[in-house]
Amino acid sequence: MQQIEHIGIAVKNLEFSNALFTKLLGITPYKQEGVESEGVMTSFFQTGQTKIELLEATNSDSPIAKFIEKKGEGIHHIAFEVADILAEMERLKNEGFILLNETPKKGADNKLVCFLHPKGTNSVLVELCQSL
């Protein structure tokens, strides 16, 4: 795995949190993008080489809605950049990690992504992402 590509933060209200993080970071989001398959609207801030991804649920079945229900707002996942997502998925599977999706899926911000089950990663939801 390479650098931390982004940190995902679950928020209740994207408009409110966009304004909050704009004040906090002193920069505006460079992109807002919906991922329909995940039931989320996202917003990205570029902080050096790493990004902050804010995630708001767009329906009550969204993983973000469930996360907030259980844990409240806060850090949802850490995403690592990988050069070859298929190779990395294979490597991690062989190491005993549980993949939440068996094939890479299309994520926000032009990425192929795969999530690891937090059960096997000290309760940290880990995202692998490969730039398209």
Q: How far is CA 11 from the centre of its chain?
A: 12
Instruction: Write the interaction track for Co ion spanning residues 17-56; mark x where CB under 5 A is met and - where it is not.
Output: ------------------------------------x---
**Residue 94 or 112: which CB sits closer to Co ion?**
112
Query: Binding of Co ion at residue 64 (CB under 5 A)?
Result: no
> Out of 35, 41, 64, 79, which residue is the one contacting Co ion (CB under 5 A)?
79
Query: Binding of Co ion at residue 14 (CB under 5 A)?
Result: no
Binding site for Co ion (CB under 5 A): 8, 53, 79, 127
